[in-house]
Amino acid sequence: MDRMWTVIAAVAAFIITALLGKWLVPFLRKLNFGQTIREIGPKWHQSKQGTPVMGGLMFIIGSVITICGVSSAYFIYSYGGLNFSQSAQMQQQIQIVTGILMAALFGAIGFVDDYIKVVKKRNLGLTGTQKLIFQFIVAGGYLVAQYFFGKGTDTIIPFIGNVDIGIFYWIISIFLIVGLVNAVNLTDGVDGLLGSVTFFFALFFMLIAGLMQSMGAAISAAALAGACLGFLMWNFHPAKVFMGDTGSLFLGGAVCALAFSVRMPILLLPLGLVYLMEMFSVILQVLYFKATKGKRLFKMSPIHHHFELKGWSEIKVTVVFSMITVVMGIASFLIVLFGGHYKL
């Protein structure tokens, strides 16, 4: 019976997001909210100049409406109402609300950044320092909310169990969230890439959450997967709209919220391998460039551009990176399955 709710969430989010595109894409084009393509990128990307940006609004709306609606219906059907006196149910509801808020606030940071780009016609938007300050505030607020609503500072590590690392939990968690959110943002650079990778991330996380009997997280993951698939109807190559930082930062917050909701942020490492590849390719490129006084480790970073310059099509990059996520999704599921079947 529980599986039915995840199917409903995925289908509803897909339909809402895909249909929103029929209104949002022409609306953004009418407002002349087009992307300014960086001159240092692959030259063939210049043909994308003017493609509507901020398309991430469609899956933000689709996933948030679906998560709120379907999760509420699930708790009402299963427990007879939204009963906060039941601690297990309350914890799941709190995880859903705080997770949505964190993702939405990251999306708001991205929206401001996109607005500056499209209105002021400045491709760089907010400065790096400004973004980081806002991101640390949002991540810190999320962790504080988690703590005060009874989550504590313990985390689940497969094959070991519950581990409380005290003050180090705060330090590691806040840098993990901010780092992963920016890694997700860097992954958005090829038509359909981030939407496809995050679709598979959410799909496998839905299975993991179901295994851990956390229906709140399972419904949220299913809705995110459905919303990503609906967005790909408009974003797969050749893209009719880009998600912008509005969408990519929201997705970064959403995937982090999923991992923290089941108290297993460590899953972000294997399941989010593609995101980490993108981030570390940029870091290594900069370090190598400075160390060798001008030489480059990759043809271009993030690493998806390296493969583009080696002759890969955008579709091939998307398919290969998605398959990496599928393999790591299977590995992550098996880690949780054999590393301890934890019920939250």
DSSP string, 39-102: TTS-GGGGGGTT-B--THHHHHHHHHHHHHHHHHHHHHHHHSS--TTSHHHHHHHHHHHHHHHH
Q: In whole angstroms, what is the distance from residue 103 CA to residue 139 CA?
A: 10
Diameter over CA atoms, the chain: 66
Q: Which residue has the higher pLDDT, 161 or 59?
A: 59
Q: Is the pLDDT of residue 217 over 60?
A: yes
Is residue 110 within 8 Å of residue 244, measured between CB atoms?
yes
Torsion angle in degrees (nearest 10) through CA of 338, 260, 252, 285? -70
Least confident of 94-98, 141-145, 181-185: 94-98
Residue 64 lies in a domain: yes
What are the distances in angstroms from CA 173 to CA 164, 180, 257, 259, 260? 13, 10, 11, 11, 9
Q: In whole angstroms, what is the distance from residue 95 CA to residue 103 CA?
A: 12
Which residues lie across from 163 on neighbouring strands?
A: 155
Share of residues in the chain with pLDDT > 90 (%): 65
Instruction: Domain count for the chain, please give it.
Output: 1
Q: Which domain holds residue 43?
A: 2-338
Task: Please tell me the predicted confidence (pLDDT) of residue 92.
Answer: 77
Is residue 308 within 8 Å of residue 317, measured between CB atoms?
yes
Mean pLDDT of the chain: 89
What are the distances in angstroms from CA 136 to CA 37, 167, 179, 266, 335? 28, 17, 10, 19, 30
Residue 200 lies in a domain: yes
Is residue 86 within 8 Å of residue 243, measured between CB atoms?
no
The pair of structure tokens assigned to 106 is 């990251």
Q: Is the pLDDT of residue 62 over 90?
A: yes
The phi and psi torsions of 124 (rounded to 5 degrees) equal: -85, -15
Is residue 317 within 8 Å of residue 237, measured between CB atoms?
no
pLDDT tens track for 79-117: 765 555 455 667 778 888 999 999 999 999 999 998 888
Residue 154 lies in a domain: yes
- pLDDT band, very low/low/confident/very high, at 327 (cuts 50, 70, 90): very high
Cα Rg for the chain, rounded, in angstroms? 20
Task: Please tell me the predicted confidence (pLDDT) of residue 243.
Answer: 94
pLDDT tens track for 17-39: 999 999 999 988 888 765 555 55
Q: In whole angstroms, what is the distance from residue 87 CA to residue 93 CA?
A: 10
> Which residue, 73, 53, 61, 67, is CA-closest to 16?
61
Task: Please tell me the predicted confidence (pLDDT) of residue 93.
Answer: 80
Count of alpha carbons within 13 Å of 323, Cβ hemisphere only? 6
Q: In whole angstroms, what is the distance from residue 148 CA to residue 167 CA?
A: 15
Task: Please tell me the predicted confidence (pLDDT) of residue 117.
Answer: 80
Which residues lie across from 161 on neighbouring strands?
A: 157
Least confident of 47-56, 131-140, 191-200: 47-56
Residue 344 lies in a domain: no
Residue 158 lies in a domain: yes
pLDDT tens track for 303-317: 999 999 999 999 999
Residue 227 lies in a domain: yes
Residue 343 lies in a domain: no
Task: Please tell me the predicted confidence (pLDDT) of residue 47.
Answer: 55
What average pLDDT score do residues 128-148 get?
A: 93
Question: Coil, strand, or helix at residue 269?
Answer: helix
pLDDT tens track for 256-297: 999 999 999 999 999 999 999 999 999 999 999 999 988 999
Inter-helix orientation angle 167-187/193-211, to 10°: 140
Q: In whole angstroms, what is the distance from residue 334 CA to residue 81 CA?
A: 34
Residue 161 lies in a domain: yes
The pair of structure tokens assigned to 301 is 């970073």
What average pLDDT score do residues 295-302 get?
A: 92
Amino acid identity of 89? Q
- pLDDT band, very low/low/confident/very high, at 152 (cuts 50, 70, 90): confident
Question: Coil, strand, or helix at residue 290?
Answer: helix
- pLDDT band, very low/low/confident/very high, at 9 (cuts 50, 70, 90): very high
- pLDDT band, very low/low/confident/very high, at 166 (cuts 50, 70, 90): confident
CB burial of 88-105 (b: ≥16 within 10 Å; e: otherwise) equals: ebbbbbbbbbbbbbbbbb
Task: Please tell me the predicted confidence (pLDDT) of residue 264.
Answer: 93
Q: Is the pLDDT of residue 343 over 60?
A: no
